[in-house]
Amino acid sequence: MNDLSTQNLIQSIDDLLKAHSLRKTALSRMVLGFFLAHPNIAFSHAQLQDQINLMLDSAVDKVTLYRLIDRLTQVSLLLCRVDMNRVRSYQLMPATIKNTPFFHCQSCQKDSFISQVIQQEALDLSKAAANASQHLASLGYQNVSYQLTLNGVCTDCAQQELQ
Ligand SMILES: [Zn+2]
């Protein structure tokens, strides 16, 4: 990475932190930067801790890291999912995910958008969720958001399991 793109990346990390009223600490920059560099991958707490330890070349304070991840999730910079074993994983919130139904593979952890697959039904789902959140907002609920996730095993992983 050349100096200019590094500078741009640092600037966009700082902009994101500022836009969400988060403190610009070395750790918050590092963690958000890590997620920005791996936009389509979900990480568990333990995996994140390992990665951050590697980058720091020392042990990160676990509680501080977990608080930061919670904070990033609260402001919707990160998307948190809980798998069938109740393990939480986190990934960068794709801009489109909030109103588009997507499929999450529990084997390879990849997300794919399914609008094309189920077309009209997907639009109906989105509309229903949008209506519900507008209705809640009109009743005075705040920061209403929604995610439409279908979980399962993708075709690639399903085929591998058969082999
Ligand atoms: Zn898969």
Q: What is the pLDDT of residue 28?
A: 94
Q: How many angstroms is it from 163 CA to the middle of ligand 1?
A: 14
Residue owning tokens 């393990």? 87
| pLDDT tens per residue across span 94-120 | 665 555 667 788 888 777 766 555 556
Question: What are the pLDDT digits (tens) for 123-161?
Answer: 666 667 777 777 787 888 877 776 667 788 988 899 987
| pTM of the shown model | 0.58
| pLDDT at res. 1 | 45
Indicate the pairing of strand 78-82 with strand 88-92. antiparallel
Q: Can you tell me the mean pLDDT for 76-84? A: 81
Q: Enumerate long-range contacts of 108-113, CB under 8 Å, 24 or more apart.
A: 108/154, 108/156, 108/157, 109/41, 109/42, 110/40, 110/154, 111/40, 112/154
State which fold the 1-93 domain adopts.
Answer: Arc Repressor Mutant, subunit A (1.10.10)
Ligand 1 centroid distance, CA of 98 (Å): 21
For the chain, domain boundaries: 1-93, 95-163
Find the 133 Cα to ligand 1 centroid distance in Å: 30
In words, the CATH class of domain 95-163 is alpha beta
Q: What is the whole-number distance in angstroms between the Cα of residue 20 and the centre of ligand 1?
A: 32
Ligand 1 center from residue 102 Cα (angstroms): 13
Q: What angle do CA 6, 74, 64 make, to 5 degrees?
A: 70
Ligand 1 centroid to 108 CA: how many Å? 4
